């Protein structure tokens, strides 16, 4: 599942995000969603989230559905 729909992304999910400074390389960061930062129902580049580690990025894929 990709992370383009806000309704699919919830706190506690294990996801891969892409941080702003990694957009050129495509390096993904794995983590657990702490909070959602995008207010619109969907976003073509992924819903922006903050991970429990404090990192911010757009969800590229949802790894584990709770």
Domain 6-64 has CATH 2.60.120: no
The residues spanned by each domain of the chain are: 6-64
pLDDT score recorded for residue 36: 97
Give the tokens for residue 52. 């429990």
Residue 28 parent element (H or E)? strand 28-36
Residue owning tokens 């404090």: 54
Predicted pLDDT of residue 2: 83
In this predicted structure, what is the pLDDT of residue 59? 97
| pLDDT score of 66 | 60
Is residue 3 within 8 Å of residue 46, measured between CB atoms? Answer: yes
pTM value? 0.92
List Cβ neighbours of 21 (8 Å cut-off, separation of 6 or more).
Answer: none
Pinpoint the alpha helices (H) of the chain. Answer: none
One digit per residue, the tens of pLDDT, for the chain of length 66 reads 789 999 999 999 999 999 999 999 999 999 999 999 999 999 999 999 999 999 999 999 999 866
3-class secondary-structure state, position 17? strand
């Amino acid at each position: 599942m990709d992370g383009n729909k806000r309704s699919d992304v919830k706190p506690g999910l294990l996801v891969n995000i892409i941080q702003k400074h990694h957009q050129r390389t495509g390096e993904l960061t794995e983590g657990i969603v702490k909070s959602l930062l995008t207010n619109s129902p969907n976003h073509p580049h992924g819903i922006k989230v903050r991970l429990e580690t404090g990192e911010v990025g757009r969800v590229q894929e949802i790894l584990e559905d709770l």
